[in-house]
Amino acid sequence: MAKDNNKKFDGLFEDSKILKPSAAFAKQANIGDRKIYEKAFKDPERFWAEQAKNLVWFKPWKKVLEWKEPFAEWFVGGKLNVSFNCLDRFIGTPTQNKAAIIWEGEPGDSQTLTYRQLYTEVCKCANVLKKLGVKKGDRVILYMPMIPELPIAMLACARIGAVHSVVFGGFSSEALRDRINDAEAKVVMTASGGFRRGSIIQLKKNVDAALEEAPSVKSVVVVNRAMDPTHVPLQAGRDFWWHRLMSEVNAKCEAEVMDSEDMLFTLYTSGTTGKPKGIVHTSAGYLLGVNLTTRWIFDLKESDIYWCSADIGWVTGHSYIVYGPLSNGATIVMYEGSPDFPEKDRFWRIIEKVGVTIFYTAPTAIRTFMKWGEQFPNQCDLTSLRLLGTVGEPINPEAWMWYYKNIGREKCPVVDTWWQTETGMILISPLPAITSLKPGSATHPFPGIKAKIVDESGKEVASGSSGYLVLTTPWPSMLRGIYGDMKRYKNQYWSKFPGFYFTGDGAKKDKDGYFWLLGRIDDVMNVSGHRISTMEVESALVDHPLVAESAVVGKNHEIKGQAISAFVTLKESVKKGNGHVELIEELKAHVTKKIGSLARPDDIFFTAELPKTRSGKIMRRLLRDIAEGRALGDTTTLADATVVAKLKDQYEEGE
């Protein structure tokens, strides 16, 4: 067991400070009895079935789990509706008149929607979708800024059984087009624009470009935001203003009766190949997972004002802005823009203004706040906060302590939550009234979750050794597949270690049984908490007419976690040195065009050759050594070891 120690925090994980939950916090917590771990471990299905009773069902399930590895069905035969669970259950109760969404626009405008108002908007939007011919099972792409219309559209899809697929507004028109085509979406919902650091991101323009090669889309619904509407061309018969359509429908729309296993949404994420995967989530298991984890990990109550600063374009926003908190009847805060607009204290000003009690953000944001300095949070009243969370990448203990001290003022537990788009819900995290915290550790698997750290042969490693993080049993909110590609689902997640779900993450367990996440061990980078595959960026680079070959690696970066470093060989006809700034800029712009600015390489280095094994595989590991300035690792498998040695010298000279 974890023992309390007052040793000065020294940043080393084994000796990190241990923080016990305070008695005052434990007294009021939603879950304070550690026996729950044992109970859930012994009989996970029974545990999940008991918890599922907190959802509103139209018809009870017949069987908790049908498991034919790797295919799971949870709550077989059960009927419910996710939108009903987030809205209708509160209508006619006192909750209906409290704020569901407190929204802050970047320029300073704001809006509050009560549960009843949200319910009305969702019903109207559902009727709009119906009017556009959207039926149960049809896919709807949502490409929107962080405005209330986005959760409204998601809940409207859920209400009628349409499958939403949110595409992050930072993706380019080409990335959007590929996702629309993969989903064969019928409708796209977007906005004319959105604000970001004072400038306008023109989303509708990107939609227009994407639709030139996306024939499945019949209608586009456009929220009027951030632009002069007369400057937003609408294509007759295809494009409609959101407010017009909303004013033409009535506000009554019964929630569709959905099967537990009916699809709720797909969300595209990067894997180890160039093509993003549409991760499939279904209704009951997903909702149960996010509903329960929100209540236990964030200790969320109806009285809370909860703010998750993620963008809804990522899974964190789906699970912990929309479905988890709203199904618990809490008030959520949504902020449209950037943390440094108009000043670097914007987040703290929002917390002060609306009295946020729970705040959930990413380590990369925390490190940025650290760099900006304590003066910004210090000039705001943050006393309303009672719990903090982090997600997206490993948090270094220094950032954890800074967050704990300067934002939580040493009175808020910090929950470091590990999970993935595929897992749907948080799987490794403290329970704040039970778990003693170690800065930098996500601590323990959630009740009912079984995780192991194994070596290459699938054998559990000794404590203190690192290995692959795997999950050994199914869980309700697990992905049900990759949209349109079940074979890839099996290969990707269930083949490396038969019987186990392979996470792609490295991890270590310490002598107290605490989990420490070590980052991806595959070709997926984590740049400012955004998941990007090396192959995706490589494909974008070789798409440029002057590029012959490229190899991309994620190198350590103080703020972003990882930065994108690209090594490029040019075609014979073009010989350009690394001083060729223009071409470097052109290639960076090309990647931005193909994927989005989130994938723009930080540096591009031209080389005559890339280090390859005798079988022709590029050794990215060695390129990472070079980019991070380390001595080269094992080079014995290379076809020609002089290539990499020369490359390292050139790189260091900055030729």
Specify whether the CB–CB gap between 525 and 515 falls below 8 A. Answer: no
Nearer to ligand WTA among residue 182 and residue 393 (C-beta):
393
Specify whether the CB–CB gap between 235 and 225 falls below 8 A. Answer: no
* Number of residues that this document lists for the chain: 655
Nearer to ligand WTA among residue 420 and residue 569 (C-beta):
420
Binding site for ligand WTA (CB under 6 A): 269, 314-316, 391-394, 416-421, 442, 503-505, 517, 519-520, 526, 531
| Pairing verdict, β 414-417 and 63-68 | unpaired
Give me 158's structure tokens. Answer: 């859920």
Nearer to ligand WTA among residue 423 and residue 565 (C-beta):
423
Please report how close the Cβ of residue 579 comes to ligand WTA at its closest, in angstroms.
36
Nearer to ligand WTA among residue 268 and residue 335 (C-beta):
268
Please report how close the Cβ of residue 381 comes to ligand WTA at its closest, in angstroms.
28
Specify whether the CB–CB gap between 339 and 365 falls below 8 A. Answer: yes
CA 346 to chain centre: 22
Peptide bond into 342 cis (omega under 30): yes
Please report how close the Cβ of residue 421 comes to ligand WTA at its closest, in angstroms.
3
From the list 449, 417, 441, the residue with the least C-alpha distance to 518 is 441
From the list 261, 258, 257, 259, the residue with the least C-alpha distance to 71 is 261
Nearer to ligand WTA among residue 486 and residue 521 (C-beta):
521
Distance separating alpha carbons of residues 480 and 69, to the nearest angstrom: 11
Distance separating alpha carbons of residues 230 and 211, to the nearest angstrom: 21
Crossing angle of the two packed helices 284-297 and 44-52, in degrees rounded to 10: 90
Please report how close the Cβ of residue 400 comes to ligand WTA at its closest, in angstroms.
11
Cβ neighbour number for residue 456 with a 10 Å cutoff = 9
Nearer to ligand WTA among residue 70 and residue 506 (C-beta):
506
Nearer to ligand WTA among residue 406 and residue 526 (C-beta):
526
Contacts of 174 (CB under 8 A, 6+ apart): 209, 210, 593, 594, 595
Please report how close the Cβ of residue 624 comes to ligand WTA at its closest, in angstroms.
16
Specify whether the CB–CB gap between 278 and 267 falls below 8 A. Answer: yes
Please report how close the Cβ of residue 581 comes to ligand WTA at its closest, in angstroms.
33
Nearer to ligand WTA among residue 418 and residue 493 (C-beta):
418
Specify whether the CB–CB gap between 384 and 246 falls below 8 A. Answer: no
Crossing angle of the two packed helices 620-627 and 641-653, in degrees rounded to 10: 20
| Helix residue ranges, H only, 251-336 | 284-297, 315-317, 324-326
Residue given tokens 């192991």 in the structure block? 452
Cβ neighbour number for residue 646 with a 10 Å cutoff = 15
CA 499 to chain centre: 26
Nearer to ligand WTA among residue 348 and residue 516 (C-beta):
516
Nearer to ligand WTA among residue 151 and residue 317 (C-beta):
317
Strands (E) in 204-271, as ranges, are 219-223, 239-241, 258-259, 263-269
Nearer to ligand WTA among residue 120 and residue 269 (C-beta):
269
CA 586 to chain centre: 29
CA 529 to chain centre: 8
Please report how close the Cβ of residue 272 comes to ligand WTA at its closest, in angstroms.
12
Nearer to ligand WTA among residue 142 and residue 471 (C-beta):
471
Specify whether the CB–CB gap between 400 and 370 falls below 8 A. Answer: no
305-308 β-sheet, strand order: 110-114, 99-104, 331-335, 305-308, 358-361, 387-391, 414-417
Nearer to ligand WTA among residue 113 and residue 525 (C-beta):
525
- Name the DSSP letter for residue 298: S
Please report how close the Cβ of residue 117 comes to ligand WTA at its closest, in angstroms.
30
Max distance between CA atoms of the chain, in angstroms, equals 74
Distance separating alpha carbons of residues 482 and 378, to the nearest angstrom: 45
CA 15 to chain centre: 30
Please report how close the Cβ of residue 390 comes to ligand WTA at its closest, in angstroms.
6
Strands (E) in 61-171, as ranges, are 63-68, 71-76, 79-80, 99-104, 110-114, 139-143, 163-166
Distance separating alpha carbons of residues 156 and 127, to the nearest angstrom: 8
Please report how close the Cβ of residue 462 comes to ligand WTA at its closest, in angstroms.
21
Burial class (CB in 10 A: 0-12, 13-18, 19+), 515: buried
Please report how close the Cβ of residue 284 comes to ligand WTA at its closest, in angstroms.
21
Please report how close the Cβ of residue 515 comes to ligand WTA at its closest, in angstroms.
9
Please report how close the Cβ of residue 417 comes to ligand WTA at its closest, in angstroms.
5
Give me 455's structure tokens. Answer: 């070596």
Nearer to ligand WTA among residue 193 and residue 285 (C-beta):
285
Nearer to ligand WTA among residue 518 and residue 639 (C-beta):
518
Give me 414's structure tokens. Answer: 């910090």
Please report how close the Cβ of residue 70 comes to ligand WTA at its closest, in angstroms.
18
Please report how close the Cβ of residue 11 comes to ligand WTA at its closest, in angstroms.
17
Please report how close the Cβ of residue 238 comes to ligand WTA at its closest, in angstroms.
32
Please report how close the Cβ of residue 264 comes to ligand WTA at its closest, in angstroms.
17
Specify whether the CB–CB gap between 396 and 425 falls below 8 A. Answer: no
Nearer to ligand WTA among residue 368 and residue 503 (C-beta):
503
Nearer to ligand WTA among residue 75 and residue 307 (C-beta):
307
| Pairing verdict, β 451-454 and 239-241 | unpaired
